[in-house]
Amino acid sequence: MGGATVAANGGIQVEMGKTRYSLDPHGQVRADYTFVSHAHMDHMHRPSRNEKVIASSLTRELAKARGYDLGETTEEVEGVELLDSGHILGSRAIRIQDEVYYTGDASGRARAFLGKCKARQARILVMETTYGSPEYVFPSTAKLVKEVNGLIASAYDRGSPVVLMGYPLGKAQLLSYFFSSWDPIFYHQSVATMNKIHMDHGVRLKAGRAFDPSSDVDILPKGPWVMVSPMASGRSRLMAHLKKQYGAVLVAFSGWAMGPGYRYTMGADYSFPLSDHCDYQELVNLVQAVSPDMVYTVHGFAAEFAKDLRKIGFSARPLAAYQSSLSDYLSA
Ligand SMILES: [Zn+2]
């Protein structure tokens, strides 16, 4: 057996013998199987009727709540193993026999209710390299949470509310979990919807009050509170209003906060590098654990990270993205 080929083509294409797998395609691509690693929008598309969709049932449910119907999905395909990738609830890496291991978006550390990416040996590793540059080594989560609690405590002392901002699926649930001891706590409507699905699946989040930005901006209480909100610029209408009307302190959470300009770009008062992706060292560790003959990198510092891997003895190159060949797309 063996002899899989991997190519970029509106996503990642894997051919094993006569079987064609399309991994996280951006659009409709001809394949026997389509794999959807997780329910973030950049990985979603509406599959055509004759492809079989491999995804966790949690990914299907989260996608549906966000308006993407993946149709029937399966986790059981012969020769295919799905592994927790630790990125968000329901996220999976895929291993096709012992030939190909694709991480999807992956985290290298356990956080709250999320585990870390489970590595398995494979001949070919296809990995995300969002933070594949040495300056992206994230601090410990416990240290970060402690620092943020200190920040919220001093805001409460001054009577100021705090808005914690992160992606509504994934980051926002971690923020809801880590900072649940503060009261009162508000969840932006889009966060509340995702929190509910997490709670239905046994994640212990505090039931806070939902905040509808179209009707509730002027009826928040005076004095301190915490709100978990999607990432928004401090210059956006909502955030500018919360600052002006309530004196809210804006705190942004992203791996990009390792960079010095991030906080200014976002117009936030503070930013912290809480990430749902592997940092540089965790990416290196993942490669060593999978021990592949060949590594293909996708996203972020793909070329830089592949170069660093070659320096430590791995065969590696970026999987050239977006080289789509029109014949592979179904006509609309
Ligand atoms: Zn993602």
pLDDT in tens, 158-199: 999 999 999 999 999 999 999 999 999 999 999 999 999 999
Measured from the Cβ of residue 120, the count of other Cβ atoms closer than 10 Å reads 14
pTM above 0.75, yes or no: yes
**Residue-level pLDDT at 327:** 31
CA of 38 from ligand 1 middle (Å) equals 7
Distance (angstroms) between ligand 1 centre and the Cα of 31 equals: 22
Calculate how far, in angstroms, residue 169's C-alpha sits from the geometric centre of ligand 1.
9
pLDDT for 41 = 74
C-alpha of residue 219 to centroid of ligand 1, in Å:
34
Mean pLDDT of the region 275-282: 98
Cα(277) to ligand 1 centroid in Å equals 8
264 pLDDT above the threshold of 60? yes
Q: With CA atoms as reference, report the closest residue to 34 among 42, 298, 44.
A: 44
pLDDT in tens, 206-260: 999 999 999 998 999 998 999 999 999 999 999 999 999 999 999 999 999 998 8
Give percent above pLDDT 70 in the chain: 93
* pLDDT reading at 4 higher than 90: no
- Cα distances from 251 to residues 140, 147, 161, 230, in angstroms, run 18, 12, 11, 11
Distance 178 CA to ligand 1 centre (A): 20
| 167 Cα: distance to centroid of ligand 1 (angstroms) | 10
Q: List alpha helices for 201-279, DSSP H.
A: 237-246, 262-266
The answer, yes or no, to whether residue 328 has pLDDT greater than 50, is no
Q: Give the mean pLDDT of the chain.
A: 92
Residue 11 pLDDT level (bands cut at 50, 70, 90): confident
User: If you measure from the C-alpha of residue 141 to the centroid of ligand 1, how many angstroms do you get, rounded to a whole number?
Assistant: 19
Quote the CA–CA distance of 224 and 246 in Å, as a whole number: 9
Cα separation, 270 vs 251, whole angstroms: 5
C-alpha of residue 123 to centroid of ligand 1, in Å: 24
Q: Strand pairing of 209-211 and 185-188?
A: parallel
Cα(98) to centroid of ligand 1, in Å? 25
DSSP class per residue in 24-54 = S-SS-B--SEEE-----GGG-----TTSEEE
Mean pLDDT of 270-290: 98
How many angstroms does the Cα of residue 279 sit away from the middle of ligand 1? 14
Confidence of residue 92 (pLDDT cuts 50, 70, 90): very high
The rounded Å distance from CA 107 to ligand 1 centre is 10
Nearest to 254 by CA among 270, 238, 235, 273: 273
| C-alpha 87 – ligand 1 centre gap (Å) | 7
Q: What is the distance in A from the centroid of ligand 1 to the CA of 303? A: 20
DSSP 248: P
Query: Around ion ligand 1, which residues have CB less than 5 A away?
Result: 40, 105
pLDDT score for 44: 67
Residue 2 has pLDDT above 90, yes or no: no
- Mean pLDDT of the 37-63 span: 84
Measured CA to CA, the distance from residue 186 to residue 60 in angstroms comes to: 27
Closest CA to 303 of 320, 318, 287: 318
Q: How far is the CA of 6 from the centre of ligand 1 (A)?
A: 21
pLDDT value at residue 28: 79
In this predicted structure, what is the pLDDT of residue 167? 94
CA of 39 to the centre of ligand 1 (A): 7
Rounded Cα–Cα distance for residues 205 and 207 (Å): 6
Residue 175 CA, ligand 1 centroid: distance in Å? 16
Cβ-count burial 16-48 (b if 16+ within 10 Å, e if not) = beeebbbbbbeebbbbebbbbbbbbeebbbebe
d(CA 164, CA 151): 11
pLDDT range class, residue 156, cuts 50, 70, 90? very high
Report pLDDT for 64. Answer: 93
Q: Is residue 326's pLDDT more than 50?
A: no
What residues contact 189, with CB distance under 8 A and at least 6 apart?
Answer: 210, 211, 212, 213
**Other C-beta atoms lying within 10 Å of the C-beta of residue 327:** 6
Segments of 55-154 assigned E as strands = 73-74, 80-84, 92-96, 100-102, 124-128
Rounded CA-CA distance 27/95 in Å is 22
Assess whether pLDDT exceeds 90 at residue 323: no
Most confident option among 26-40, 131-145, 312-326: 131-145
- Residues 6 or more apart from 19 whose CB is under 8 A from it? 32, 33
In angstroms, what is the span from residue 177 Cα to ligand 1's centroid? 19
- Between CA 173 and CA 179 the distance in angstroms is 10
> Three-state SS for 117?
coil
Ligand 1 centroid vs 106 CA: distance in angstroms? Answer: 8
321 contact partners, CB below 8 Å, separation of at least 6: 8, 298, 302
Classified as helix, coil or strand, 173 is helix
